[in-house]
Structures are given as structure tokens and as C-alpha cells.
């Protein structure tokens, strides 16, 4: 049932975002528990990201063989269990080992839920991926609120993460019943090496994902310091920069599918890149924190569509192995997520933080140019199967967060591969 699968995947994104939101919000409590320095916390974050990237890349073949549904059913509960392990380890060495496992479990969950989102999108025969990623924003905000609430209640790092893990574990198991089976892989022709090779379009899409993740990661990690140190904002005002950015991301993703279906993929990505460059130019040139925060809001509204769109394109660029393609693009994206803040910090050390953050403007312009001249949407569409297009007689208007009811006749009972499109309420 498409409605159940769509809601299940949306809630999976939300649950994953909640776990990360709690983890990030209680990072100061982690430092207090282990008595770590800022550099040691940086190592914790680094090994988490490296674990995620290694798992994404290493398990690409498993994703192609087992499919997103089977992998996600195992990976989402394992993410909760690994978060509990992070909460319970007694020393810094054990913390690093547990964080690596947490990063690996989350990395597999991330690529599997994006691949499942691609399966649902192909079943709908229209763009719904941006709405799925809106679920991530909802979860991340909820996780942050949960972290703030537990801190205000006097709960420490261990108790907070244990509560989040124990509550999310049964939810993750229950969501496994909502996922759609991956479409059967067509018989491959040619040698084994040819069968393993992904289309060049996947790597081109991955480059855009890499740049988009670099952009988002740089804003997330440096927005507060830019507002506080460069623009003289108080700590309270400086802390508002990232939540405002995330709120704008959520709002933009709720309508992102609608915009994509109306203007087309290439125009959406090109416009998002240009809009991101303009928004970050406002941030960099802002005379004070108020204008800069407004620039972050504008940036969030437009940059939010780039990552979901690249994931969606990856699923169509290799229609015989969509899960493997999503895993490849996801791994490249996470590489950008790790590298972006480092590049901004290095440039800020050499010059100023305004200049360092200003590198995001160049990244956004490269995204716009790559989308416009690379014609990535055409490359992906050329590889997509015929049934990825809207069905005859079905309006191609995009889906928003309001999920439709099943048709009166409903899908054929006992046929799990029924993927007839449903009318979308917009």
C-alpha cells in the first residue's frame, strides 16, 4: 500500500533525524561526562562520519543484492542499539569504538532509507523525495528539543541517550512492516565487471551531492561562530542561526516536490544553486547578525532541495541497481559533509571567518553550473525505465506532505508489487 509505505518512510527519516538531533544536542554533556577537550570531541565527530562513509561504500553491493527493505529493517533497530552502546561505554577509548559502530549503523540506515524513498517515489511515479527529507528536519528539530528538555530536567548524557534509544528501538522495528519491496533487477548482460559498474551519471550526481553536503555542513558548523565572533552577536542570538536555517529547510522541503514538478529538475537545481549563492552573499556581507540570520533563512529555503533531488536522480540513473546508486551518492555526499567544515575552518584561520564561510558562495555557483551545463536530469532520465514517468491520465502535480487515501478499489490484495499511482492532494 503506497500510503502506508510513504508515511512509513517519512517517519523513518524523522526517527533517524531525531536520533541525530539528540546526539548533537547533548554533545556538551558528552564532553562533561568524559572530560574531553574540543579537539577530542572533534575526533569523536570525525570517526562517526568516517564510520558512516566506510559502511556506505562497503555495503553498496549488499544493498544491490538484498534491497533497501531488508537492509533498512535490520539497520534502523541497530542504529538505536548502537546509540545505547555509546551511552553506556565507560571510557574515551570505548566511546570511540562505540561511535564508529553508531556511525556505521547510521550510515547504512541513511542510504537504505533514501533507497526506500526512491522505491516509493518510483511507485508514485512523481517526485516525493523532498517531502521525505522534510521528515528528517522534523526529527532533527524534535531531537534537539528532546535534548534541551532532558538537560533542563537534569538528565545526563547516559540517561538521555538511553531513553532515546529505548524509545526508538520498537518504533524502528514497527516501521519495518511499512516498506515496499525493491523492484526486481533485470537480467544483466555482459561480463561481471560490466555488471558492477555504475553509470557515469551516478558519479556526476554524486559530485553535486558532495558539494551540497559541503554547503550544508559548513553552515551547520560555522554559523554560530560567524555570528558571535565576527558580528558580535550574543551567544543566545548566535545560537539562533542554525535553528532558523533548519526551519527554513523544513519549509522549503515541504513544497520542494511541487516546485520540482512545475519547473523541472534542471531548473530547480540551477535556481537552488544561484539562490544559495545569493543568500550566503547576504550572510557574508551582512552589517550585523539580524541581516545575517535573514540570509541564513533565505539560504535554507533554497539549498534544502538539492540533496533530496540528487538522491532522487541517483535512483533513476541506475534503474537496475537503484540502492547501489543511492549508496554511492550518499557516500560521496557524506565526504563533503566532513570536508566542508574543515575547508571553511582552514580558510577562516588563514583570513577571516567571513571569507571562510564565503567559500559556500563558490560551492553554490558550481552546483548551479553543474546542474545547468551537465544536464544531469537528462542523463538520469535517459537511464530510467519507461514506467518512471507519470501514468496516462494522472496529473503530474507533485505530492506535498498530505498523503492521499487509498483508491476505493485499493491495490490488488496479495500483490506486493502493485505500484499503481494514486492521485495526490495538493
> Is 161 in the same domain as 205?
no
pLDDT at 383 over 60: no
> Is 146 in the same domain as 214?
no
pLDDT digits (tens, 9 = 90+) for 80-128: 999 999 999 988 889 999 999 999 999 899 888 988 888 888 888 888 8
247 — phi, psi (to 5°)? -60, -45
Residue 316: which pLDDT band, with cuts at 50, 70 and 90? confident
Specify the number of domains making up the chain: 2
> Is 217 in the same domain as 244?
yes
> Is 169 in the same domain as 298?
no
Judge residue 93's burial from the number of C-beta atoms within 10 Å of its C-beta, 0-12 exposed, 13-18 middle, 19 or more buried. Answer: exposed
Which three cell numbers mark 352? 577571516
> Is 18 in the same domain as 158?
yes
Average pLDDT, the chain: 80
Domain that holds residue 57: 1-180
Q: Residue 24: its pLDDT value, please?
A: 77
What is the 3-state secondary structure of 348-388? HHHCCHHHHHHHHHHHHHHHHHHHHHHCHHHHHHHHCCHHH
Domain boundary among 376, 394, 411: 376
Q: Residue 393: its pLDDT value, please?
A: 32
> Is 17 in the same domain as 160?
yes
The set of residues, in sequence order, having a beta carbon less than 8 Å from that of 387 and lying 6+ positions away, is 122, 125
> Average pLDDT for residues 182-189, to the nearest whole number?
62
Give this prediction's pTM.
Answer: 0.73
Residue 38: which pLDDT band, with cuts at 50, 70 and 90? low
Kindly report the CA angle at 39 between 38 and 44, in degrees rounded to 5?
95
What is the crossing angle of helices 353-374 and 265-285, to 10°? Answer: 160
Return the top range by mean pLDDT from 173-187, 243-257, 284-298, 398-412: 284-298
Q: Is residue 256 part of a domain?
A: yes
pLDDT at 212 over 80: yes
pLDDT digits (tens, 9 = 90+) for 130-167: 888 888 888 888 887 888 788 888 888 899 999 999 99
> Is 118 in the same domain as 203?
no
pLDDT digits (tens, 9 = 90+) for 56-72: 777 767 777 778 899 99
CATH classification at residue 365: 1.20.1250.20
> Is 73 in the same domain as 215?
no
In which residue are the cell numbers 519495518 written?
176
Residue 409: which pLDDT band, with cuts at 50, 70 and 90? very low
Q: Is residue 414 part of a domain?
A: no
pLDDT digits (tens, 9 = 90+) for 334-351: 888 878 877 887 888 888
> Average pLDDT for residues 212-227, to the nearest whole number?
82
pLDDT at 250 over 70: yes
> Is 238 in the same domain as 341?
yes
> Is 226 in the same domain as 113?
no
Q: Is residue 189 part of a domain?
A: no
Q: Is residue 44 part of a domain?
A: yes
Q: String of b and e for 170-196 (b: at least 16 CB within 10 Å)? A: ebbeebbebbbebbeeeeeeeeeeeee
Q: Is residue 420 part of a domain?
A: no
> Is 171 in the same domain as 97?
yes
Q: Is residue 381 part of a domain?
A: no
Q: Is residue 305 part of a domain?
A: yes
DSSP track, 270-295: HHHHHHHHHHHHHHHH-SSHHHHHHH
The set of residues, in sequence order, having a beta carbon less than 8 Å from that of 346 and lying 6+ positions away, is 356
What is the 3-state secondary structure of 317-349? HCCCCHHHHHHHHHHHHHHHHHHHHHHHHHHHH
> Is 39 in the same domain as 113?
yes
- Distance in angstroms (rounded) separating the CA atoms of residues 286 and 293: 9
- Distance in angstroms (rounded) separating the CA atoms of residues 353 and 350: 9
pLDDT at 405 over 60: no
pLDDT at 314 over 70: yes
Amino acid at each position: 500500500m503506497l500510503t502506508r509505505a510513504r508515511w512509513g518512510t517519512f517517519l523513518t527519516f524523522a526517527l533517524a533525524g531525531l536520533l541525530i538531533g539528540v546526539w548533537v544536542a547533548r554533545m556538551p554533556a558528552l564532553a562533561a561526562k568524559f572530560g574531553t577537550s574540543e579537539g577530542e570531541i572533534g575526533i569523536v565527530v570525525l570517526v562517526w562520519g568516517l564510520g558512516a562513509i566506510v559502511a556506505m561504500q562497503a555495503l553498496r553491493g549488499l544493498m544491490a543484492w538484498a534491497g533497501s527493505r531488508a537492509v533498512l529493517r535490520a539497520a534502523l533497530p541497530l542504529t538505536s542499539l548502537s546509540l545505547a552502546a555509546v551511552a553506556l561505554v565507560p571510557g574515551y577509548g570505548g566511546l570511540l569504538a562505540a561511535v564508529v559502530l553508531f556511525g556505521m549503523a547510521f550510515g547504512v540506515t541513511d542510504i537504505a532509507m533514501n533507497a526506500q524513498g526512491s522505491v516509493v517515489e518510483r511507485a508514485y511515479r512523481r517526485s516525493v523525495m523532498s517531502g521525505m527529507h522534510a521528515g528528517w528536519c522534523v526529527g532533527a528539530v524534535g531531537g534537539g528539543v528532546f535534548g534541551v528538555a532532558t538537560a533542563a530536567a537534569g538528565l545526563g548524557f547516559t540517561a538521555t541517550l538511553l531513553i532515546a534509544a529505548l524509545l526508538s528501538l520498537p518504533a524502528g522495528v514497527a516501521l519495518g512492516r511499512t516498506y515496499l519491496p525493491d523492484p526486481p533487477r533485470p537480467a544483466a548482460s555482459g561480463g561481471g565487471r560490466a555488471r558492477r559498474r555504475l553509470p557515469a551519471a551516478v558519479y556526476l550526481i554524486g559530485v553535486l551531492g558532495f558539494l551540497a553536503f559541503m554547503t550544508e555542513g559548513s553552515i551547520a558548523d560555522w554559523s554560530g561562530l560567524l555570528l558571535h565572533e565576527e558580528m558580535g552577536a550574543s551567544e543566545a542570538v548566535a545560537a539562533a542561526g542554525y535553528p532558523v536555517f533548519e526551519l527554513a529547510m523544513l519549509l522549503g522541503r515541504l513544497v520542494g516536490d511541487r516546485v520540482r514538478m512545475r519547473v523541472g529538475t534542471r531548473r530547480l537545481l540551477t535556481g537552488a544553486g544561484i539562490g544559495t549563492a545569493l543568500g550566503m552573499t547576504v550572510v557574508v556581507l551582512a552589517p550585523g547578525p539580524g541581516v545575517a540570520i535573514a540570509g541564513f533563512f533565505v539560504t535554507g529555503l533554497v539549498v534544502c532541495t538539492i540533496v533530496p533531488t540528487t538522491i532522487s536522480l541517483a535512483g533513476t540513473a541506475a534503474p537496475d541497481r537503484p540502492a547501489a546508486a543511492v549508496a554511492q551518492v550518499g557516500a560521496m555526499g557524506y565526504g563533503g559533509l566532513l570536508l566542508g567544515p574543515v575547508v571553511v575552518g582552514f580558510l577562516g584561520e588563514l583570513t577571516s571567518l567571513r571569507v571562510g564561510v564565503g567559500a559556500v558562495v563558490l560551492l553554490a555557483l558550481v552546483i548551479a553550473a553543474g546542474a545547468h551545463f551537465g544536464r544531469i536530469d537528462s542523463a538520469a532520465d535517459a537511464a530510467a525505465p519507461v514506467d518512471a514517468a507519470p501514468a496516462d491520465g494522472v496529473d503530474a502535480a507533485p505530492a506535498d506532505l498530505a498523503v492521499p487515501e487509498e483508491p476505493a478499489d485499493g491495490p490488488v490484495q496479495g500483490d506486493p508489487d502493485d505500484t499503481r499511482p494514486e492521485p495526490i492532494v495538493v
